[in-house]
Amino acid sequence: ILVQTLQPQLRNTATMKLAVVSTLVGSAAAFAPASKTSSSSSALNAVPYDRPSEALPFAKSGCPATLDGSLPGDAGFDPVGFSTTPIFQLFDSKSGGSNTMSDLYWLREAELTHGRIAQLAVVGFLWPAFFGTFPGNEWTGVDAYSYANPLEELDHVPYLAVAQIVAAMSWVELKRVSLIKEQGSSRIPGDLLLGQGPGDRINPFGLNYTPEEFYEKQVQEIKHCRLAMLGAFGLYCQAANSGLDIKSQIGAALVYPEWYQKAGYFIPEGI
């Protein structure tokens, strides 16, 4: 009777152990070194990683074949494999591959758009703290715009002011979407028909760079975009964590502690 009672439990225990061992073996296989080949490939759609990466010089085959250096600012950095995915299907599944931008151009479109918004966000974090804020009035409130921390300002600014920002950004986005549909596969990523470029456009500053200079300006923009995305994320987290504007944070960091000039300042105060 005891054997018959314990037999199902033992069978269940053995089954559980077998399942755990199978899981561990599968996990170990995922981290096991691959066979020695001349190049690796993305597991998403078998795009080979067959060239050295400027951004990852320690990886002999750290750059996918999709990053051929044709885009400004391309340093061969794509360890996750975003450039190897059929990304256009997520945004333009109706046009077909021949009537829309390539996967790589769609990614650059997104990178430029996010980077430009991040640059505006960085300015929005810095300007109120270092250069002051707008005056309020009786309708908005005298102190409606007097908060240097943008996250704190959101709790006091009138809703119509926020609606104006949302409306303006929505118009820009709708214009960008219409240009993507209109230009199709010939679209230059991020082109809003402003400044120098082909076709009819608005060029108020009369920009007329040589091809080499224009390429360098494109490299500068994408670098600023990438830096701004990191900067905006850091500014947001720090403002949310400290509750202070950027000027107050920097000022507090440069203040010497009261015990700094004491003999043995490394000893905690009161000892």
Residues sharing a CB contact under 8 Å with residue 124, sequence separation 6 or more, in sequence order = 150
Considering only residues 28 and 39, tell me which one the structure prediction assigns the higher pLDDT: 39
Is the model's pLDDT at 63 over the cut of 60?
A: yes
- Cα distances from 218 to residues 5, 74, 209, 223, 225, in angstroms, run 75, 11, 11, 9, 11
CB 107, CB 226: distance < 8 Å: no
pLDDT of 167 reads: 96
Q: Which residues pair with 48 in a beta bridge?
A: 41
pLDDT of 92 reads: 72
- Report the alpha-carbon distance of residue 68 to residue 193 in Å, rounded: 26
Burial letters for 151-172: b for 16+ Cβ neighbours within 10 Å, e otherwise? Answer: eebeeebeeeeeeeeeeeeeee
Considering only residues 197 and 227, tell me which one the structure prediction assigns the higher pLDDT: 227
CB 101, CB 189: distance < 8 Å: yes
- Report the alpha-carbon distance of residue 207 to residue 219 in Å, rounded: 16
Is the model's pLDDT at 23 over the cut of 70?
A: no
pLDDT (tens digit, 9 = 90+) per residue, 112-171?
A: 999 999 999 999 999 999 998 888 887 777 788 888 899 998 888 888 888 999 999 999
Closest residue by Cα to residue 189 from 127, 101, 78, 75:
101
- Report the alpha-carbon distance of residue 182 to residue 71 in Å, rounded: 22
Is the model's pLDDT at 69 over the cut of 50?
A: yes
226 three-state secondary structure: helix
Report the mean per-residue pLDDT for the chain.
80
Q: CA 164, 201, 106: angle at the middle one, nearest 5?
A: 75
pLDDT of 48 reads: 87
pLDDT of 212 reads: 95
First-to-last alpha carbon distance for the chain, in angstroms, is: 73
- Report the alpha-carbon distance of residue 28 to residue 15 in Å, rounded: 20
Q: Which of 20-29, 61-70, 101-110 has the lowest mean pLDDT?
A: 20-29
pLDDT (tens digit, 9 = 90+) per residue, 234-269?
A: 999 999 998 889 888 887 777 766 655 555 556 666
Burial class of residue 63 (count of CB atoms within 10 Å of its CB; 0-12, 13-18, 19+): buried
pLDDT of 271 reads: 57
pLDDT (tens digit, 9 = 90+) per residue, 171-200?
A: 999 999 999 989 988 999 999 999 998 889
Most confident segment among 59-73, 125-139, 200-214: 200-214
pLDDT of 262 reads: 58
pLDDT of 21 reads: 42
- Report the alpha-carbon distance of residue 217 to residue 210 in Å, rounded: 10
pLDDT of 33 reads: 37
Q: What pTM did the predictor assign?
A: 0.73
Give the pLDDT band of residue 89 (cuts 50, 70, 90): confident
99 three-state secondary structure: helix
pLDDT of 35 reads: 37
